[in-house]
Amino acid sequence: MEKRIQLSTPTMHGEEIEYVNEAFARNWIAPLGFNCDGFEKELSEYLSEDGQSPHALALSSGTAALHLAVKLAGVKRGDIVLCSDMTFSATVNPVVYEGGVPVFVDSERETWNMDPRALEKAFELYPSAKVVMLVHLYGTPAKMDEIIDVCNRHNAVLIEDAAEALSATYKGKKAGLFGKYGALSFNGNKIITTSGGGMLLTRTAAERDKAFFWSTQSREKAPWYQHEEIGYNYRMSNVVAGIGRGQLKHLDEHRALKESIYFRYKNSLKDLPVTMNPYLDCSKPNFWLSCMLIDKSSRVEFMNIYNKLNDANIESRPIWKPMHMQPVFKNNDCIKVEKSFVDEDIFSRGLCLPSDIKMTEEEQSYAIQVVKSCF
């Protein structure tokens, strides 16, 4: 193929530029401003349930949102934080920014997310742990009832990294609403994008206000610049917030397209020794990335498929390499309940397939044909 088939790239619709134009017309290019306010309000309405809306704070990245969540959760130097092991490093880095010590928790096979049994064991081994950092990988909700039950029994604060999972639901409730704090990302490859950006979700206005304060260099109320705490420059620009407002109108449409991509893979690959990334019946993923897992019985290696796809000008990507396998975290503990790490096994047999919503059916069929040719 001449045109590269990609994993997941931005899809614009035209409304985005109208909000951006308004920012230019009103010369409101600085951070903060009407598009930031509008984006926060519209996103919070999108997420609201039973008349309850989360408090939303638009920030420069999902990582910034996670960092402020870690600060709100009160993580201090030396504190243990129990973290999803199989994830993007952005989930975990903010814990370290605050001097916290990540202890990783292995995945289960039904959603590829944090295993509640391993989390329980982690609390037994680290009874001082008071914060849990949970990711919904690839837009698939974790086993929330069990995770929340374990957190409650140990009086722990749950931070939900829903960066990949905007619009996914578990028992009808949207990802980002389960934790005491939630973080979303609008990075270029996510289901909707602002070019770069993130959103922090809190349950109280006071916590949102505190995070806002930190995100604007912790400037005290005084005519001069007065500082009593260390701050950050984490606000979202009013220009890119406009992109987000336009994108939000198409979020459900993006989700539907992602879902049809997933099921086309599932149906087309059903005769091969592979399965698709699994999810619970009580949840509706946003199908951000379609991933396949090669059966243990097969001798085909994921890097073979990766290379063949690449030769055919098709982008694919290995599964997130577990944090406990990363050199930077070689001294951090990782808790498992199976004989060997479930996530190491998933990493060794999995592959993310192109899930770009602009991919045509013909292009996807071509990618499928290349995958089939590897078996």
Ligand X SMILES: *Cc1c(COP(=O)(O)O)cnc(C)c1O
Binding site for ligand X (CB under 6 A): 61-63, 87-88, 90-91, 135, 161, 163-164, 185, 187, 198
Q: Could you tell me the smallest distance in angstroms from the CB atom of residue 318 to ligand X?
A: 14
Could you give the C-alpha distances from 345 to 154, 170, 322, 340, in angstroms and in order? Answer: 29, 25, 10, 8
Closer residue to ligand X in complex, CB, 91/355: 91
Q: What is the DSSP letter of 176?
A: T
CB of 170 to ligand X, least distance (A): 16
**Residue with Cβ nearer ligand X (47 or 65):** 65
If one counts every other C-beta atom within 10 angstroms of the C-beta of residue 74, the result is 11
Which value, to the nearest 10 degrees, does the dihedral of the CA atoms of residues 171, 172, 173, 176 take?
90
**Cross-strand bridge partners of residue 81:** 102, 131
What is the smallest separation between the CB atom of 88 and ligand X, expressed in angstroms?
Answer: 4
The minimum distance between CB 76 and ligand X, in angstroms, equals 22
Q: What is the token pair recorded at 205? A: 């206005």
- How many angstroms separate the CA atoms of 102 and 344, rounded? 18
> 116 with 349: CB under 8 angstroms?
no
Query: Alpha helix (H) ranges present in the chain?
Result: 15-25, 34-47, 62-72, 93-97, 116-125, 144-153, 205-215, 238-248, 251-268, 302-311, 342-349, 361-373
CB of 375 to ligand X, least distance (A): 29
Name which of 63 and 202 has its Cβ closer to ligand X.
63
Rounded least distance, CB 58 to ligand X, Å: 12
Euclidean distance between CA atoms 28 and 198, whole angstroms: 20
Of 69 and 103, nearer to ligand X (C-beta) is 69
How near is the Cβ of 136 to ligand X at its closest, in Å? 8
Give the residue with the Cβ less far from ligand X, 83 or 135. 135
Q: Measured from the CB of residue 93, what is the shortest distance to ligand X in angstroms?
A: 9
Dist CA 106 CA 137 (whole Å): 13
How many angstroms separate the CA atoms of 136 and 138, rounded? Answer: 7
Closest CB to ligand X among residues 63, 283: 63
CB of 185 or CB of 286, closer to ligand X: 185
Beta carbon of residue 244, minimum distance to ligand X (angstroms, whole number): 12
CB closest to ligand X, residue no? 62
- CA distance linking residue 334 with residue 325, whole number of Å: 10
Residue among 257, 265, 361, 352 at smallest CA distance from 11: 257
Residue 351 sits at φ, ψ, to 5 deg, of -155, 135
CB 183 within 8 A of CB 162: yes
Q: Which is nearer to ligand X, 191 or 269 (CB)?
A: 191
Least distance to ligand X from the beta carbon of 243, Å? Answer: 14
- For ligand X, the closer of residues 156 and 352 by Cβ is 352
Q: Exposed, middle or buried: residue 111 (CB in 10 Å: 0-12, 13-18, 19+)?
A: buried
Q: How many Å apart are CA 343 and CA 87, to the nearest integer? A: 10
The Cβ of residue 339 has, within 10 Å, a number of other Cβ atoms equal to 6
Closest to ligand X by CB, 185 vs 269, is: 185
